[in-house]
Amino acid sequence: MTGAREQAEQLFGEFGRGRPDGVWSAPGRANLIGEHTDYNEGFVLPFAIEHRTYAAVGIRADRTLRVISTLDRQPFALSLDALAATFDGPAGHAVAEGTVPEWAAYPLGVAWAAYPLGVAWAALAATGRPAAEVAGLDIALASDVPVGAGLSSSAAIEGATASALNDLWELGLDGLSIAKIGRTAENEAVGAPTGIMDQVSSTLGRLDAATFLDCRTLETASVDLGFTATGLALLVIDTRVKHAHSTGGYRERRASCEKGAAEMGVPSLRDLSVADLPRAEEALDDVTFRRVRHIVTENQRVLDTVEALRAAGPLAIGELLVASHASMRDDFEISVAELDTAVDAALGAGALGARMTGGGFGGAAIALVEADSLDVVSRAVEEAFAERGFTAPHTFTVTPSEGARRDV
Ligand code: GAF
């Protein structure tokens, strides 16, 4: 089977101009714990997975950007000079108005967000700094990150594209700045009001480790996971219930959190701790209180998980994962029957811990299992889905992997 990297290189051939100047890639992610805490300036603990998006990129002699993707083999072109007119303005308007196809808004939104930095460099070049050309580019994208599965296929596209632009436009950005460009593209160009977790995980991922991110200070620390050394494996159960963050529930949850923070008189829910919950229960309506309780307790669970991993390793985190799922199911109400079934069946078959991962309303669950019981757990989940008449899930393992990089 042809891998995604080869597919990107082959797809580049459809531009009819020979080989790309380079290939860059960035991974999807599984979030171990810390859900919907990122846009509340809280804590998250995601890790990059081995599924990646590849961008095969060639420099052009003119000022045109062309993108093509295996998602839609029709190339879409835009001049560098039209980026601002296309994407400036209300979030997501170019996609909503049909000016840019949604898939193309990810890479072109990254170009829009990065372009002013490239222009600044070019201006510096005129004053004697090394020349940095802001050239037009041909970008071919292929991915093996499942789309709509809660594994952040979008951050993978953004990370691969932004890494390519960083090198080819000589922007000199570090991983965190590349992540910020990806997030700007996602929020403003695509119009999905997400936090920054996925982009940071995709750019800063490390082998066998998770990225502990403080979403207020943007400080990161690598936390060793040691799954393999402990005889464990991380099973992903893709329920195949598709979700999208630019719509509905995600936006509503974000608004509830903002309401809760405003009514509690704090800048963000990060500023509340578990000790504040009785006061919050008095002050807030029931739904808002439960949204707040999820965020506050989830932040604490992230901190506890980091501590448990450092002190005792991954065997010690199962209960925290289970509590996180219960909180998302009962308080934040972002789970669906398929996700609950996946979690319950995995736990029933001996998983140490399990929870839905990502934004919710579909997508995937993760289960921490002993490597030699992977088959038993997968089978139990498949049987539970069949019994309830759900579409058969996709189950596969993921290993904590390297972040964005240049491959060729
Ligand atoms: C999605 C978003 F993109 C992230 O920013 C985060 O909010 C996550 O949902 C929920 O934790 O992946």
* CA 35–ligand 1 middle distance (angstroms): 7
In this prediction the pTM is 0.96
* CA 317–ligand 1 middle distance (angstroms): 21
User: 137 and 277 share a domain?
Assistant: no
Question: What per-residue confidence (pLDDT) applies to 244?
Answer: 66
Domain span at 377: 226-398
Angstrom CA distances, 55 to 65, 66, 110, 231, 404, stand at 13, 12, 13, 34, 11
Q: Is the CB–ligand 1 distance for residue 194 below 6 Å? A: yes
Identify the domain boundary among 182, 205, 222: 222
Low-confidence spans in the chain with pLDDT less than 70: 1, 121-133, 244-247
Question: What per-residue confidence (pLDDT) applies to 223?
Answer: 98
What letter does residue 206 receive in the DSSP assignment?
Answer: B
Identify the domain boundary among 222, 250, 273: 222
Q: Is the CB–ligand 1 distance for residue 197 below 6 Å? A: yes
With the most atoms of ligand 1 within 8 angstroms of its CB, the residue from 33, 38, 268, 301 to mutate is 38
Amino acid at residue number 3:
G
Residue 260 lies in a domain: yes
Residue 403 lies in a domain: no
CB-based contacts of 30: which residues, under 8 Å, 6+ apart?
46, 47, 49, 151, 234, 236, 357, 364, 366, 398
Q: What is the CATH number of the domain that holds 31?
A: 3.30.230.10
Question: What per-residue confidence (pLDDT) applies to 203?
Answer: 98
Q: Is the CB–ligand 1 distance for residue 359 below 6 Å? A: yes
- Structure confidence by residue, pLDDT tens digits, 320-367: 999 999 999 999 999 999 999 999 999 999 999 999 999 999 999 999
Identify the domain boundary among 172, 200, 222: 222
Question: What per-residue confidence (pLDDT) applies to 247?
Answer: 62
Q: Is the CB–ligand 1 distance for residue 358 below 6 Å? A: yes
User: Which ipTM did the prediction report?
Assistant: 0.99
* CA 199–ligand 1 middle distance (angstroms): 10
Residue 374 lies in a domain: yes
Q: Is the CB–ligand 1 distance for residue 38 below 6 Å? A: yes
